Structure 1
Amino acid sequence: MFKNYIKTAVRSLYKNKGFTAINILGLALGLATCLLIVFYVVDELSYDRYNTKANRIYRVNEDLKLGENNVQYAVAMPPLAKTLKVEYPYIEDATRIKNAGTTHVKKGNINIVENRVGFVDASIFNVFTLPMISGEPKTALLEPNTVVLTESTAKKYFNTTDAVGKTIVFNEKENFKVTGVIKDVPKQSHFNFDFFVSLESFPDSRSNEWLRSDYNTYVLLKDAKDHTKLEASFPAFLQKFSGSQMQSELGMSISQFEKSGSHFRLNLTALTDIHLKSNRSGELGPNSTTQYVYIFSAIALFILLIACVNFMNLSTARSSNRAREVGVRKVLGSSRKYLILQFLAESILVTFVATVIAMIAAAAVLPLFNQLSGKEIVLTVESLKWLVPSLLFIILVIGSLAGSYPAFFLSAFQPIDVLKGKLSAGFKGGDLRSFLVVFQFFVSILLIIGTLVIYNQLNYIQTKNLGYNRNQVLVVQNSSELKDQAKVFKQELAELPGVKSATMTGFLPTNGWRNTRIYFKDASFDQKKSLFPQSWEVDADYIPTMDMKMAAGRNFSKEMMTDSSAVILNEAAAKFLGFSDPINKTIYQSSGGDRKGSAPNVKECHIIGVVKNFHFNSLREKIEPVVMTLGQNSGALGIRVSTTNITALMGQIKDKWNSLSPGVQINYSFMDQDFDASYRTEQRIGTIFVIFTSLAIIIACLGLFGLAAYAAEQRTKEIGIRKVLGADVSVIVGMLSKDFIKLVCIAIVLASPIAWYGMNKWLQDFAYRITIQWWVIAVAGAGALVIAFVTISFQSVKAALANPVDSLKNE
């Protein structure tokens, strides 16, 4: 019997090849798109879950509010991890990680720039799941100058994973013994180091400073439920260990600090929440956000619904043509149960074929999707364990839903009514189909408006005046490698033809290097008059090289010795301090006291200038206060070039570099590229959004195309009569199109306010954003109408041009 159902289903589907092809293509396209998004969402949700103890690992964060300044850190104090483990018996272990930044690693006669180097405690292997291939995890990092490599790094430097006992050289002079090789850290990790260097090699790691934050600190609890108890104990813990240093630094106790409206607090973030729910200062890598997971999940659901709606629409439309078949089958003795099973078999068969095609298409397109999304998703046996059952469930659900209308509705017809022709089903009678068409274009218009808003916001980011000129600026990222020769390098480059100016500092607008200090408006050290700004050490060439503009006062001068105690504020800092005219005013920098109960040591700083606000964070964030001081910081070198022959100039720069630092690779980039990299996530999201929106529209149009063909087929004789009576092509096209266009107009009216509201909510994440203009809604609506009309017109014009003799000759 089952074999007969399949055979009959295949024959019926083959007989209507056009509708079957549209059904399979639309559903396969929707399922393939949905699968890709599901892969993306699953990948985002899987971060750090490779750790077997993930549910018991928490990161300790620090929140600092000083006056009106509020800063959230992902890092904490140097002695915190060790102290927590001693103080709380329900903490099984604790560990710290510190990003080492750019490091040069010697391989043969060359130095390779590595950016994935981390200083870690020996206890890292007790907390995180980092399987060791060779070496002993308990003792691997107990001694100074020891390092554990990942498997791929060991192969890169020693052509083998058996690297234990070998020596690796950092920064030309520091020899480290390889004491272990671990498997590569999974891509779905909030840190991805290739070198795990013992923190015992870093003297600062033994610091007892409780008011300095620069270590990512993690605790492993014996019971995950204890995290609430641990958080509740933090105020007393800080009072015990930070109180005396707070008194020394600010001249007040923690309780007095809290009463003044400020606070200094610790809190916890679950390890599995870091990637999607944490965006603090000092993160070990760029994190994502749950917002994009929700957006893409909604898009996947919408596209799947559009594809299913297409399937149901075309199935219900075609089912009316099979009323006579149902009548004949019943007359010949077929029961309603067998008719229901027959229709469901056809529907499930189409869904099965579409799902197989979708799976093959998704696997084929996955490498391209990875390139667009910045992911490295691969289909593994583990992923197939949940994917195959999910697809089987989808086949049954979609197939049953799409086949339910013809199965239960048509099978209930009385044969005598059907065979007498009492049951007719033109397009106008299809209320369900009308609702489904409205739904399809409702979703499509939502996506079109969303795409336009995202595109305009990204364009705004790219074209906004940032307060500095990022074009034609070359950045040498590792100029600190030159040490005492860095200043000489800068001077020699400034004399090259094609170099306009150069500045030596690590505090560039596109760099991640940041520093903060406490300043007070006056000598009363009132926290309500305090400032906790970015503190940037720059040289006198910084402002002209960055092409920044002064709002008041002057730039630093090499000729004026008093500028060593001078500062330049940005407009945000000047506004925060409330000076009507900040020039020549004095602010006070806290540098800590020398004994318990003493007033803070201070440095008087006179304001010589105010630079216009410039963006150095994402446009999602407001411009923070910045205080610039004059100094020699060799963290990076910014070079403004004024030549079109960049290749020749780069050759000269490399020659200068090699003469001063032979064997060390120069690490450089262009500032506009660094800027673009900071918005790479938004750009990728925008590109993917455009692609998925286009696919959603194509799927919707496939369904509309099929329905238009069905409507034209149902009204063939009416069209023939109208043509005989003198109707021209435009009249017939309009007659066939108006019902569909009316439905699209309803979708526009329903979708526009919802899309406007939703995209306004998305824009709220940007401190600097566009305003959604009326024309965005108008363009989206007009675009949907044009797309729908073009889709419908193909079938309408074809029907209108047909010879009426052919449609009327059997009457």
Structure 2
Amino acid sequence: MIRNYLKIAWRNLRKHSFYSFLNIFGLSLGLASCLLITLYVVDELSYDQPYENVDRIYRINADLKFGGPEMRLAVAPDPMAFTLKKDYPQVEAVARLRENGSYLVRRNEQAENLKEDQVVFADSTFFSVFSIPLVEGNPATALTEPNTLVLSERDAAKYFGAESPLGKTLLLDNELTYRVTGVMENLPANSHLSDLNMLLSMASREESRENSWGSHNFVTYLRLREGTDALQFEKNFDTLLEKYTAPWVKSIMGATMEDLEKSGNYLRYSLIPVRDIHLYSDRLAEISVNGNIQYVYIFSVVALFLLLIACVNFMNLATARSANRAREVGVRKALGSERSSLVAQFLTESLLLGYISLGLALLIAFVAMPFFNDLSGKQMHVPVENGIFWGALLLTGGVVGLLAGSYPAFFLSGFKAIRVLKGTLATEGKGGYLRNTLVVFQFVISVMLIIGTMIIYRQLNYIQTKTLGYDKEQVLLIDNAYALGTQTEAFRQEMLKKPGVENATVSGFMPTPSSRTDNPFYPEGQSIQEKSVGMQSWRVDYEYVNTLGIKLLKGRAFSREFPSDSSAILINEEAARLLGYQDPIGKRIATLINPDASSQRVYTIIGVIKNFHYESLRKNIGALNLVLGKSSGMLALRLTSREAQGTVERAGQLWKQMAPGQPFEYRFMNDDFDATYRAEARVGSIFITFALLSILIGCLGLFGLAAYTAERRTKEIGVRKVLGASVGNIVTMLSLDFLKLVGVAILVASPIAWYGMDAWLSNFAYRIDIQWWMFVLAGALAAGIALLTVSFQSIKAALMNPVKSLRSE
């Protein structure tokens, strides 16, 4: 019986090859898109799962407000980890990481330096919290001694080749010698720690032993004992604050924790599960760039929509062609076929079509995977080696085939034999209403995706073109300026002599997002408790303001003509507002030299700079000040547009002369800015791609329906032409029915799309307004695409010779 069903199903597919192609191709596109997005979602959800006891590992977060805006930090004070371990038996193990930016690393004096971007200091207990195997070395002792380090397998091969690195040394920043005491397995890509290739012993860092409860610089992890409720454990932070932080607040501010809360300031700690960090955490001082659970939800919905559109196509075409198969059903029923056997026959056809589509979808996914990886910024593959994958795939193909074919099967098998054979079957009615509903559903999804794509694109364009308060164009950033040593200023002066260089500044602080923390500043003569403002404080040189095109609103910039500028300060508009100064020039403000010292440093305000965006546009501009100081992380060159490439080459040549053996690394500031919004740009690209796919799939179905409608109304068209109807009249008549459905879809989709995109835009402090014309344009695009799709069949039918369509009458 099954063999007979399959044979008949195959014959029907071959007999109606045009409609079979539309069904198979549309369904395969939907399945392939769903497969790719599912792999993306699974990858995002799998972060930090491989570690043992990961369900008991947490990171400590800090939320503090101290004069300025609230700061949400992924770091905690240095003594917190081991204090928790000492005071609370629920804590089984603790470890800290301290980011230190990049290092220049080489094996010996003769080798060339290589830049390592993600170097962190780690406690000796790190491997007891995270179950990362060591290929060489003892995890219990690898990081116990000062000036020791653990390499990843990747870095071990890079610096030592095939030989064992244990006991050998590396030179960091041309002066620090570290001994290799371990080699760890490369961290998995689906971990928030994946970029860590080099761990330095925390014992090498004096700061880790300062016992400062006011300085938040350490990423702090703890593993709770089995059975411990994390939410209940969080309540212990109140006790911790009272016991350890309150004395610090009292000694520095002369106030109690209650006084701090009354003044609108606060300090709070909480726990976040490690496996939630990638999708649910976007704080200052994150170890890596994390994902966003919103995008996981969005892509999951898009995948479901695409699959539904493809299934809707199948149902639409199957029910639309019901009249063509009605006589077959009538004959079968007259010869004694049961309805159940007819249902089985039609479901077999849909299953066969579903599995053919699944095979083609798999092929499409293989071909598209490299492009999708570029689009999503991942390195995924189709897991053909995984048995669960094949089981899920086969199950999906079966379920999709049954779901897509269920309604047509029951619809077709329900025809009355006597009515069919008499030729009195009405083919519209219920089936026609369903088809119209499904067409509306398809275009609701397509219009929503078009609107979403348009709004995302406009928001990204707004970000790119918004006035930032500084000029990011034609600014060349040269990294590792400290590698020049004492020749940094000489290099800057030489570059100023080169053609195409307008100005140059040396500073580690650039107006692109970075992990920086605030310090409290307060008017001289007042206590830190009375009036303090949390500000970022950047150390810059005399040329900084002019080189970056930062606008000065009041006063003056730093000048070599004023030796007193060593204690001068520039503040931005927001800092002046928070300090309550109408005219800040000449006012003196102070800050603590370090969080636990009673001494302070006093600055005189000499200028007010216009607010500029130094953080992502997701955040409001905070208080900021500039002070003169040495910070040789980067050299920024303001270039003329015509000489950009030549200047890069000349800078590279000069670098080789003045810093031989040191890596010459550069980038342009606008590229740094673009990288800040790479996630949104990827979302926009993915949205555009799948919006186009949804429209394509929907158009395949619409094309088939238009062909069927034209075929069914052939004689009507012939009569109308004989009676004088023009080609335009016929095309309008055939197209109008579909355009009405698209119009309904636009009305339904618009409020849903507005709600969803308004929620997405709420993540940005600076955002576009959603305008009415966006919905009109999206609707016009959808209507235009639908009209183009059906017009081919409409025009073809309208141009047909009426003699051919009427000669059978």
Provide the TM-score with structure 1 as the length reference. Answer: 0.96
Instruction: Give distance in 2, aligned partners of 1:769 and 1:594.
Output: 40
Give a deviation string over 1:237-274, Cα, whole Å, max 9, x none: 12222233222222223343234332122211110111
Write the mapping of 1:194-593 to structure 2, written as runs, cut at 5 A. 194-223=197-226, 225-380=228-383, 384-426=386-428, 430-510=432-512, 512=514, 514-521=516-523, 523-525=525-527, 527=529, 529-591=531-593
Aligned to 1:180: 182
Give the AA of the match of 1:40. Y
Q: What's the CA shift for 1:594?
A: 7.9
Instruction: Give distance in 2, aligned partners of 1:611 and 1:777.
Output: 40
Aligned to 1:147: 149
Instruction: Give distance in 1, aligned partners of 2:793 and 2:64.
Output: 66
Residues 361-370 or 171-180, more deviating: 171-180
CA contact (8 A) 2:253 2:528 kept: no
| 5+ long unaligned stretches in structure 2 | none
Q: What's the CA shift for 1:224?
A: 5.8
Tell me: CA distance 1:669–1:741, structure 2 relative to 1, closer, same or farther (3 Å): same
Tell me: CA distance 1:427–1:149, structure 2 relative to 1, closer, same or farther (3 Å): farther
Aligned to 2:732: 734
Q: What's the CA shift for 1:281?
A: 0.9
Instruction: Give distance in 1, aligned partners of 2:336 and 2:755.
Output: 57
Instruction: Give distance in 1, aligned partners of 2:653 and 2:310.
Output: 60
Percent identical pairs in the alignment equals: 49
Instruction: Give distance in 1, aligned partners of 2:596 and 2:749.
Output: 65
Tell me: CA distance 1:405–1:64, structure 2 relative to 1, closer, same or farther (3 Å): closer
Write the mapping of 1:37-76 to structure 2, written as runs, cut at 5 A. 37-76=37-76
Q: What's the CA shift for 1:201?
A: 2.1
Instruction: Give distance in 2, aligned partners of 1:163 and 1:601.
Output: 46
Give the AA of the match of 2:38. V
Instruction: Give distance in 1, aligned partners of 2:807 and 2:429.
Output: 23
CA contact (8 A) 2:285 2:516 kept: no
Give the AA of the match of 1:318. R
Q: What's the CA shift for 1:85?
A: 1.2
Q: Does 1:36 align with 2:39?
A: no
SS in 2 for 1:557: coil
Aligned to 1:104: 104
Select which of 614, 617, 625 maps to 2:615: 617
SS in 1 for 2:217: coil
SS in 2 for 1:69: coil
CA contact (8 A) 1:105 1:172 kept: yes
Tell me: CA distance 1:147–1:68, structure 2 relative to 1, closer, same or farther (3 Å): closer
Q: What's the CA shift for 1:522?
A: 5.3
Q: What's the CA shift for 1:604?
A: 3.0
Instruction: Give distance in 2, aligned partners of 1:593 and 1:510.
Output: 26
Instruction: Give distance in 2, aligned partners of 1:243 and 1:452.
Output: 51
SS in 2 for 1:533: strand
Q: What's the CA shift for 1:670?
A: 1.1
Give the AA of the match of 1:106. R
Tell me: CA distance 1:594–1:294, structure 2 relative to 1, closer, same or farther (3 Å): closer
Q: What's the CA shift for 1:329?
A: 0.9
Instruction: Give distance in 1, aligned partners of 2:410 and 2:592.
Output: 80
Instruction: Give distance in 1, aligned partners of 2:613 and 2:551.
Output: 13
Select which of 703, 706, 727 maps to 1:705: 703
Q: Does 1:634 align with 2:656?
A: no
Q: What's the CA shift for 1:592?
A: 6.0
Q: What's the CA shift for 1:419?
A: 0.2
CA contact (8 A) 2:499 2:643 kept: no
CA contact (8 A) 1:68 1:528 kept: no
Give the AA of the match of 1:343. F
CA contact (8 A) 1:119 1:196 kept: yes
CA contact (8 A) 1:61 1:267 kept: yes
Instruction: Give distance in 1, aligned partners of 2:246 and 2:486.
Output: 40
SS in 2 for 1:532: strand
Q: What's the CA shift for 1:429?
A: 5.8
Tell me: CA distance 1:592–1:685, structure 2 relative to 1, closer, same or farther (3 Å): closer
Q: What's the CA shift for 1:381?
A: 5.7
Tell me: CA distance 1:46–1:224, structure 2 relative to 1, closer, same or farther (3 Å): farther
CA contact (8 A) 1:520 1:587 kept: yes
Tell me: CA distance 1:645–1:260, structure 2 relative to 1, closer, same or farther (3 Å): closer
Instruction: Give distance in 1, aligned partners of 2:90 and 2:246.
Output: 24
Q: What's the CA shift for 1:323?
A: 0.8
Give a deviation string over 1:307-338, Cα, whole Å, max 9, x none: 11111111111223211101111122222221
SS in 1 for 2:70: strand
CA contact (8 A) 2:305 2:445 kept: yes
Instruction: Give distance in 1, aligned partners of 2:334 and 2:429.
Output: 27
CA contact (8 A) 1:64 1:71 kept: yes
Give a deviation string over 1:258-302, Cα, whole Å, max 9, x none: 343321222111101111111111111111211111111111111
Residues 287-296 or 394-403, more deviating: 394-403
SS in 2 for 1:430: helix
Q: What's the CA shift for 1:407?
A: 2.2
Give the AA of the match of 1:776. M
SS in 2 for 1:726: coil
Instruction: Give distance in 1, aligned partners of 2:704 and 2:384.
Output: 38
Aligned to 2:756: 758
Aligned to 2:22: 22
Q: What's the CA shift for 1:179?
A: 2.0
Q: What's the CA shift for 1:161?
A: 6.9
SS in 2 for 1:502: strand
Write the mapping of 1:658-669 to structure 2, written as runs, cut at 5 A. 658-669=656-667
CA contact (8 A) 1:66 1:527 kept: no
Tell me: CA distance 1:528–1:722, structure 2 relative to 1, closer, same or farther (3 Å): farther
CA contact (8 A) 1:476 1:666 kept: yes
Give the AA of the match of 1:63. D
Select which of 687, 694, 708 maps to 1:689: 687
SS in 1 for 2:113: strand
Residues 359-368 or 402-411, more deviating: 402-411
CA contact (8 A) 2:254 2:529 kept: no
SS in 2 for 1:320: helix
Give the AA of the match of 1:372. L
Instruction: Give distance in 1, aligned partners of 2:370 and 2:163.
Output: 28
Instruction: Give distance in 2, aligned partners of 1:414 and 1:461.
Output: 62
CA contact (8 A) 2:320 2:431 kept: no
Aligned to 2:715: 717
Tell me: CA distance 1:242–1:179, structure 2 relative to 1, closer, same or farther (3 Å): same
Pairs aligned (count): 806
Instruction: Give distance in 1, aligned partners of 2:634 and 2:227.
Output: 43
Give a deviation string over 1:68-108, Cα, whole Å, max 9, x none: 53211111111222221111112111001122311111156
| 5+ long unaligned stretches in structure 1 | none
CA contact (8 A) 2:105 2:173 kept: yes
Tell me: CA distance 1:132–1:686, structure 2 relative to 1, closer, same or farther (3 Å): same
- Computed over aligned residues only, the root mean square deviation of the Cα atoms, in angstroms, reads 1.9
Instruction: Give distance in 2, aligned partners of 1:310 and 1:347.
Output: 12
SS in 1 for 2:769: coil
